[in-house]
Amino acid sequence: MTQPVANTAVPQPGPLYRLQQKFASTSVAAKIVAGLLILVAWELGVTFFAPKFVARPTNIIAVFPDVITEPEFIEATLSTLFAVLQGLLIALVSGTIIGIAMGRVKVFDRLLNVYINGFYTMPMIAVLPLLTIWFGYEDSARLATIVFAAFFSIAINARDGARSVPPEYLEVARAYRARQRDVWFDITFMSSLPYLVAGFRLAAGRALVGAVIAEFFVSLPGLGMYILSHTRSFAHNEAVVGVLMLAAFGLLFEATMNGVMRRFFPWYRREDRKD
């Protein structure tokens, strides 16, 4: 029955609040300071409490230049990156088409919705053994896993977007005698875009997971495999560089998405800034 003491609805503009504001408007310098603090904590934690083979920042930094110039590592990175991009592209095109069709055509929705939702919630690792047998222990098994991982979140979001096209837009289109084709490509697609972007973001994360897991299973020369083999041979610092590269993929993806949206869809996300 204890009441939280300092928790008021309106933040008081005290010194703490101002500090918070300062960090909310994150300068790059503040981010770097935060990163350095994490590294120091990690280094100290490992030094005092962990066995010798646990990776620590100083050791990782020491191997970093060698690893990222090593042909094996570069090959692994490119292999995973291209597989993910390829799989995402396939999932994006097919998921968008099928999702929008489900959202706008009742029959499709009735037929497919159960399966799409079912597969979406099912952990993809469960089908991986099957995929490896069906597609063989090669690249195509990894690609299939990535597509499988990414497809459903894209389709589900595209469906939701297409279903929530504001009726006002459709009314205007009809009043100006838009043809069916124009309604699909202009109104339905464009007003679903925020949903498509959300689905694609989700799908990118899942695709990366799918790629790494597939590499664990199939032993393809990708980052997942690189991390696994270096972990097993106790080259933990090298393995961590692989992990960091995967994290960099995520950041790269976000930056690219933001750039693309700003460049090609400048109206996107601006609506909620009206007041």
Partner 1 sequence: MSQAASNLVHTVSGTGTSADDPSSAPTRIAISGAGKKYGELQVFKDINLTFGNGEIVTVVGPSGCGKTTLLRCIDGLIPLSEGEVKIEGSPINGPREGVAMVFQHFGLFPWKTVYQNVAYGLKLARHPAAEIKEKVPYFINLVGLSGFETAFPYQLSGGMQQRCGLARALAMEPHVLLMDEPFAAVDAQTREILQFELLKIWELRPLTMVFVTHSIEEAVLMGHRVVVLKGRPSGVHEVIDVDLPAPRDRGTLGHPRFTEVREHVWSTLMDEVRAAEFEV
Amino acid at 252: L
Q: Which is nearer to partner 1, 191 or 229 (CB)?
A: 191
Q: Which is nearer to partner 1, 18 or 181 (CB)?
A: 181
Tokens of 40: 């120091």
Q: Which of 4, 10, 49, 168 binds partner 1 (CB under 8 A)?
A: 168
CA-to-CA dists, residue 154 to 98, 115, 150, 262, angstroms:
9, 14, 7, 21
Q: Does 263 bind partner 1 (CB under 8 A)?
A: no
CB neighbour burial string for 59-68, b if at least 16 within 10 angstroms, e if fewer: bbeebeeebe
Q: Which of 18, 106, 179, 263 binds partner 1 (CB under 8 A)?
A: 179
Measured between its terminal Cα atoms, the distance across the chain in Å is: 39
CB of 176 to partner 1, least distance (A): 4
Name which of residues 40 to 99 contact partner 1 (CB under 8 A): none
Closest CA to 210 of 197, 196, 220, 198: 220
CB of 105 to partner 1, least distance (A): 22
Q: Does 181 bind partner 1 (CB under 8 A)?
A: no
Q: Which of 18, 177, 232, 263 binds partner 1 (CB under 8 A)?
A: 177
Q: Does 275 bind partner 1 (CB under 8 A)?
A: no
Q: Which is nearer to partner 1, 52 or 274 (CB)?
A: 274
- Please state the separation of Cα 48 from the chain's center in Å: 35
Query: How many other CB atoms are there within 10 angstroms of residue 265's CB atom?
Result: 14
Q: Does 274 bind partner 1 (CB under 8 A)?
A: yes
Tokens of 31: 């981010």
CB of 271 to partner 1, least distance (A): 5
Q: Which is nearer to partner 1, 48 or 168 (CB)?
A: 168
* Residue count, binding to partner 1 (CB under 8 A): 24
Each residue 182-201 as x (binds partner 1 by CB under 8 A) or -, in order, gives x---xx--xx-x--------
Say if CB 199 and CB 154 are below 8 A apart.
yes
For 109, phi and psi rounded to 5 degrees?
Answer: -60, -45
- CA angle 198–201–204, rounded 5-degree value: 150
Q: Which of 54, 85, 125, 178 binds partner 1 (CB under 8 A)?
A: 178
CB of 265 to partner 1, least distance (A): 7
Q: Does 172 bind partner 1 (CB under 8 A)?
A: yes
- CA angle 17–271–273, rounded 5-degree value: 25
Site residues (vs partner 1, CB under 8 A):
168-169, 171-172, 174-179, 182, 186-187, 190-191, 193, 265-268, 270-271, 273-274
